[in-house]
Structure 1
Amino acid sequence: MKHLITPIALAASLIAGTAQAQETFKVAYIDPLSGPFAGVGELMLSHVQYGVGEVNAKGGVLKGTKLELLKFDSKLSAQESQNALQAAIDQGARVIVTGGSGSSVVAALVDAAAKHNERNPQSAVIVLNHSSIDPDLTGKRCNFWHFQLEANTAMKMKALANYIKKQPDIKNVYLLNQDYAHGRQWARYGQEMVTLARPDMKFVGQDFHAIGRVKDFSPYISKIKATGADTLITGNWGQDMILLLKAAGEAGANYRYFNHSAGSFPGTVLAVSQSRIGQLTWVAEWHPGQAEAPKVEALAKAYKAKTGKEFLAPRIEFTPLMLAAAINKAQSLDTLKIARAMEDLSFESVVGPVRMRGEDHQLLIPQVVNTIAPVDGKTVKVGWEGTNYGFRTDAIYSGNELAQGTECKMVRPQ
């Protein structure tokens, strides 16, 4: 006897087929989209969106599953980030992309994700951290579900210390940093590593200030001037860096600044150009106009053509691409299998080969020491942010050269 397909059954099968064809793998972006660092959060979001678009343009993952990006505002708050995490999980997200909220917020988010995963292994989530660089996140507080896609504080400071070793004009250093986990780490590693590199130097003072709350840095500049400092090691970023440069310029304070990523934030080059004094040296996997990185330059042009925005952070753009590589390596959308595939994953990125170290989930990624400087047609060929200031390459170090030991004692799920 033949089986008859009723109109209702046929409709149901068509609906099911359509649903299957439209199935996506959800990724949630949780970073500041309001408040003093909203511009930073929006720029990072744009990079993630572009990377997701690249993955989907190539057919997605596992021969057809597209990535779907959800976005949430962390409001630079640990509590808001945890609320956003729960909302993302409820909406079906299985990977969280974050990092622009500060290390203390990201640490709280990782802890919350780990607790959720322990209670709900069927809906476990992975945290991909693109910018929060506290070494504890891949050290004594390492977690199987967390992956660090940026060089950590110790790696960045090692690159700067190697450079400072060859700068004899630096003699008196002041430590000025934001008062949160990463700011204190930047100050500590700065004092330790730079002292090893240049034991003849003096540290003449130190201050910590509330993150994102100081409107006028003039009192800090006055205090620093009184110490005779010629150099600041500062972890300030975003508006805190811009306002610091503004106050120093208005006071005629011609300092050298050593920072982890300030040049990648909108408005920083403009602030340097307006102050007309001071040298801001920072470190990242790439800087705009870098002659040694033609692949990134090509990507930057394509990104600007599509988004209308300047490209600043290759690691954020290739975060979704590394996720896709891990999914395809795992041949599964199960997050436990994806996390295991991410461990020791080697990936050919636009800044060169990188590797996710399995023992602590720290990405080994190149770092370029560079200084914001006037265009001279030789070392600086391209102006930035509508100014005649761009970026000068000072030194380049591989991820392996900057790799540090780790205190991580990774506990892996059974």
Structure 2
Amino acid sequence: MWKLAKGWLAAGLMWLAAGAQAQEPIRLGMIDGLSGPFANAGDAVVRNLRIAIERINARGGVKTAQGKRPMELVTFDSKGNVDESLIQFRGLVDKGIPFVLQGNSSAVASALVAAINRHNARQPDARVLFLNYSAVDPSLTNENCSFWHFRFDASADMRMQALAEVIRQDRAVRRVYLINQDYSFGHQVSRSARDMLAAKRPDVQFVGDEFHPIGKIKDFAPYIAKIRASGADAVVTGNWGNDLTLMVKAAREGGLQAKFYTFYGNGLGAPAAMGDAGVGRVLAVAEWHPNVGGAASDAFYEQFRARYPEPRDDYVHLRMQMMVEMLARAIEKAGSTDAVQVALALENMRYVNDFHEATIRTEDHQVLQPLYVSVMERRGGAVRFDNEGSGYGFRTVRKLKTAQTTLPTTCRMQRP
């Protein structure tokens, strides 16, 4: 597989050297935290975007009215905060980059949507489009929806819908502790968990509902002690990045026996941090994971690992690579990078490969797709691939079809 990855890279470089020098690249501007407590999450995004771009460039680039053009990723470090993200957005606009990519903060995403709405209204000849790969606050495709914004991840409500379906069938879960980061996303996870579990499992008792500062806690032992004292048999959390890794590490060290129903427990150090204590007890939800099975899925994962062989780089996101592929198709359909035309081309677009399918809903620009809930196990048997060289991987517990993950929208989109 390494030969295949080198082949992509070599083909892309040869193509750039030989025929594409006259063509201006299509630049994608990623604004996200590349330093600070969540730098590892930002770096993981960069790897996924780069391999998708390399794949497109290796086959000749993107067809436009001016000929085939390569894609290029330009990164902007937001340092994980809203103010810096808006400063970086101005820099992106000044460089004439037509596409904004972001995801590792719903607070940042909301601020970017507002900024892009203003920018596009004031400068119709320099409009930009926002492609969101991870910011899952439901408001972004409901009351705060925008024609200029597309979300390729499932919303927090869609993810919670999947987890709640599994909890509905897990009769061992009786007492639930909610712990989340203290910002818009964390509060939405808490609300969704309460509402959905009340409907699906009215017998479940909530024994804690706690919020902690995002990216500030170095030792979660006091929080774990409170969870143990509550008698919780399950923890539900939307925590991500180091806030999740440090929490599950403290849970292992504190001997907490509860199950963890997580949004993001399948990477960025979480499986290794939990170790044997997480086997059968840490669950995660995603649009895909390496052990969904099938030759095409296995090859997709192996190609990524050939390109990025270091264990610490092993965090593969199908949705991010899918996003770049769909953008390339939309540009080809539009014949240009004009934001309005590309947005119209993305609407109702369907993505299909041999192991996944997704559709962009026109009404709110939310991608609709299946979701998998998986549980941590030791590598072997159904768990062919482990995570980050930890010896632990994830096995599918439940696959929810698109119809089961689709939720209604309240979006009243203003269209240009």
Q: What TM-score does the superposition give when structure 1 sets the normalisation length?
A: 0.91
Q: Report the 3-state secondary structure (helix = DSSP H, G, I; strand = E; otherwise coil) of the residue aligned with 1:151.
A: coil
Match runs of 1:2-401 below 5 Å = 21-62=22-63, 63-100=67-104, 102-263=105-266, 265-273=267-275, 275=277, 279-291=281-293, 293-308=294-309, 309-349=313-353, 351-375=355-379, 377-401=380-404
Q: Within 2, Cα distance between the matches of 1:284 and 1:277?
A: 18
Q: Distance in 2 between matches of 1:115 and 1:55?
A: 32
> What is the number of residues matched between the two proteins?
392
Give the residue type in structure 2 aligned to 1:252. Answer: G
Q: Distance in 2 between matches of 1:233 and 1:211?
A: 16
Query: How far did 1:385 drift?
Result: 2.4
Alpha-carbon separation, structure 2, partners of 1:354 and 1:390 = 25
Aligned residues: percent identity?
39
| Runs of at least 5 residues in structure 1 that lack an aligned partner in the other structure | 1-17
Task: Give RMSD over aligned pairs.
Answer: 1.7
Looking at structure 2, the residues matched to 274 and 168 of structure 1 have their Cα atoms a distance apart, in angstroms, of: 23
Paired with 2:328 and 2:353, the residues of 1 have a C-alpha distance of 13
Deviation at 1:232, TM superposition (A): 0.6
Structure 2 letter corresponding to 1:273: G
Gaps of 5+ in 2: 1-18
The superposition leaves residues 153-211 of structure 1 with CA deviations (integer Å, 9 ceiling, x where unpaired) of 11111111111111110000011000011101111101111121111111111110001
C-alpha separation in 2, matches of 1:391 and 1:207? 27
Q: Which amino acid aligns with 2:239?
A: N
Shift of 1:115: 0.8
Kept in 2: contact 1:149–1:362 (CA 8 A): yes
Once the two structures are superposed, what CA deviation does each residue of 1:328-387 show, in whole Å capped at 9, x if it has no partner? 122222111101111111122464221000000000011100011223x33333333223
Q: Comparing 310-319 with 109-118, which one deviates more in the overlay?
A: 310-319
Distance 1:267 1:42 in 2: 13
C-alpha distance in structure 1 between counterparts of 2:280 and 2:258, whole Å: 5
Is residue 271–residue 278 contact of structure 2 (8 Å, CA) maintained in 1?
Answer: no
TM-score normalised per structure 2: 0.91
User: 1:245·1:275 contact (CA, 8 Å) conserved in 2?
Assistant: no
Tell me if the contact between 1:142 and 1:409 (Cα under 8 Å) persists in the aligned partners. Answer: yes
- CA distance in structure 2 between the partners assigned to 1:24 and 1:251 by the alignment: 52
Question: What SS does structure 2 have at the residue aligned with 1:320?
Answer: helix
Letter in 2 for 1:43: A
- In 1, the alpha carbon distance for the partners of 2:354 and 2:185 equals 27
Q: Is the 8 A contact 1:253 1:278 kept in 2?
A: no
Shift of the 333–185 alpha-carbon distance from structure 1 to 2, 3 Å rule, reads same
Larger radius of gyration: 1
